[in-house]
Amino acid sequence: MPVHDNWFADFSKKSFSTATPVINNEPTKRAYNTDMKVRLSLVVACICLAISSVAFDKIQAELVGTWDYTSMTALKKGKPFGTVHFQPGQWTVIFKQDATWAMSMPPPANPRTMGGTYEVRGHDVDMKMADGKPFKTYHFTIEQGGKILTLRTADVSITASREIIPQADSPQPSEQSSR
């Protein structure tokens, strides 16, 4: 085999624009792609968590307030089979911002008042007594611009209206009618 004295001239004539790399970067590419997928997944998870947190806060905020029971319907196999209607203030439940609740019931209920804590999961409210024992878990909906609450289990459907507390600076109904 002849030895070229001008090996540099032969080498410099080669075109490197179409040369394929000698080193295989496939493991590096896979590691980079895996890293990017993990980062993207974390970003998406954080965004979803932030959105669900905002939605949760909104749902819980809608539930907070004093609700007057207007009716309670017994359900049998999902169908109504008896309804009791209530007067305003006769039976109330209060859901407070601090995740506590208080209920005032009509006689002959004994005790007439009870309370505890609650936790909202989606559109379910899990109510526990003050001692931590379960009370009820209701599926709830809030309709008519936040004025009507429906609490539902397999055996009962309760409808309640939000108790509106008049503002000190708003005119009372008797003042409005005299104007």
Joined together, the tokens standing for residue 80 give 């109504």
Residue type present at position 95: F
**pTM as predicted:** 0.60
Q: Are strands 134-143 and 65-76 parallel, antiparallel or unpaired?
A: unpaired
Tens place of pLDDT per residue across the chain (179 aa): 555 555 555 555 555 555 555 555 566 666 666 666 666 666 655 555 444 444 445 567 889 999 999 999 999 988 998 999 999 889 999 999 999 999 998 877 777 899 999 999 989 999 999 999 999 999 999 999 899 999 999 999 999 999 876 555 544 444 444 44
Domain boundaries, the chain: 63-162
* The CATH number, out of the four listed (2.40.128.270, 3.40.50.740, 3.40.50.1440, 3.20.20.150), of the domain defined by the range 63-162: 2.40.128.270
Class of residue 114 by CB neighbours under 10 A (exposed 0-12, middle 13-18, buried 19+): middle
CA separation for the pair 56, 66 (Å, rounded): 19
